[in-house]
Amino acid sequence: MASPMNHAIAAIILAAGKGTRMKSDLHKVLHPIGGRAMLLHLLDSFAALRPASTVVVVGDKREQVESALVDTGASVAVQDPQLGTAHAALQAKAALAEFDGLILVCFGDCPMLTGNTVRRLCDALSGGATVAVLGFRPRDTAAYGRIIADADGNVLKMVEHKDASPEERATGLCNSGVIVAHSQHMWRLLEAVGNDNAAGEYYLPDVATGAIAEGARVVVVETEEAEVAGVNSRAELAAAEAQWQAFKREEAMAGGASLRAPETVWFSWDTKLGRDVTVEPNVVFGPGVEVGDQVIIRAHSHIEGAKIASGCEIGPFARLRPGTVLEEKAKIGNFVETKKAHLGKGAKANHLTYLGDATIGAGANIGAGTITCNYDGYFKYQTVIGDNAFIGSNSALVAPVKIGQDAIVAAGSAVTRDVADGELRLVRGEQLVKPGWADRFHDAMRKKKAGK
């Protein structure tokens, strides 16, 4: 007999609830963890399983969810009215009418669920079980539904918290809401679910209850609480973020990065770090960051949408905005901000500088206080600085402008025209000297002040 994971698998993700506890105009499943919507984290986890189809059941704020699913390959089914979780899962039947294989049902607000756990759940059907459910043992059972099972993992009963007896509530094994069955069983069991309960709703766990009533075997697979804890409030969102960040920090260090104070470093969902990278305290990575080998990122830096080659040094207190590209051994120092700036090999801007819409050649040196004046209130313009050029401190480069190779811009210059290769550009007003003027001024002002 073929193992369950040799069957095709389809996923039904339930995301029709209102999420009222979030108190947000944004759909609950679209709130980000590591800069990426919870729902998309879940889809990423399932990608390793290569599901034949994924259906997201929507209701409230459906337009937001549909927009987020563009280009994911997932389809949408609508639950209206919302009559419970079993009713929600049944709304996906039309989309999966031709599907023959295993059907997984889970919630969209559980972003930590992994593909490996789903595999274990599916494999649990190989012993002849009709339904497999995912359980966990939380520190606080709160209002979770309970799973009553024997020592071999055979489920005897499943019950919602509000319908459970005191003895059943004392059970530590709780229902995560994740369930799997073959399509030939899933639809039949879903359609048989009734609503004779305290809330008058059609509950998904009653799929398992119905199978047990038929004499079929239902099994439970256990996982850690952290993997299946749902996110229903801002506090739970913060806890999920903290948990996810802790995982990413461990992953980064296992991959060869040194984090001087791991708990203070914040990653994005797609952050990529090379080997022998050193990250000092209080560094934040936004989306779209790729870091090469042997890079040093000093404290209090914020990096987003940047590609950083091997051997670069960043910070402290640096801000790299989207479109920044640093070639090998480039340096960005303290209080330097870049945006759509490409720094060539060995180029450096060590202090108090803004480089926007700029291309800086290899070996160029950008002095403290330099800014590229790239915006006139309507359009953005380019600044191009040649190889080995030297830009003196407190210079303003008014784009569009080009500074040639090996050129020097003297400190304090406001450059509005191109500078040729090897040229010195000095733009300063004539210094006016008045000997003794300051002494006379101070004397006059002191007398005036004393006379009041």
Beta bridge partners of 77: 57
Q: Which residues contact 200 (CB under 8 A, 6 or more apart)?
A: none
| Residues 6 or more apart in contact with residue 264 via CB below 8 angstroms | 281, 282, 283
87 is catalytic: no
Give pairs for 290-294: CB < 8 Å, separation 24+.
292/328
d(CA 341, CA 374): 11
The CA-atom distances, in angstroms, between 50 and each of 34, 47, 123, 320 are 24, 5, 16, 36
Distance CA 253, CA 110 (A): 25
Sign of CA dihedral 170, 172, 176, 180: negative
**What does R_g of the chain's alpha carbons equal in angstroms?**
31
Residue type, position 100, single letter: D
CA-closest candidate to residue 411, choices 424, 402, 420: 424
Q: What are phi and psi of 221, to 5 degrees?
A: -115, 135
- Dihedrals φ, ψ of 145, to 5°? -70, 155
Reported as type and span, the H/E element at residue 57 is: strand 53-58
CB 394 within 8 A of CB 367: yes
Q: What backbone phi and psi angles, to 5 degrees, belong to 185?
A: -100, -40
* 3 state SS of 71: coil
Burial of 367 (0-12, 13-18, 19+ CB in 10 A): buried
Q: Which of 27, 300, 351, 442 is catalytic?
A: 351
- Residues with a catalytic annotation lie at 351
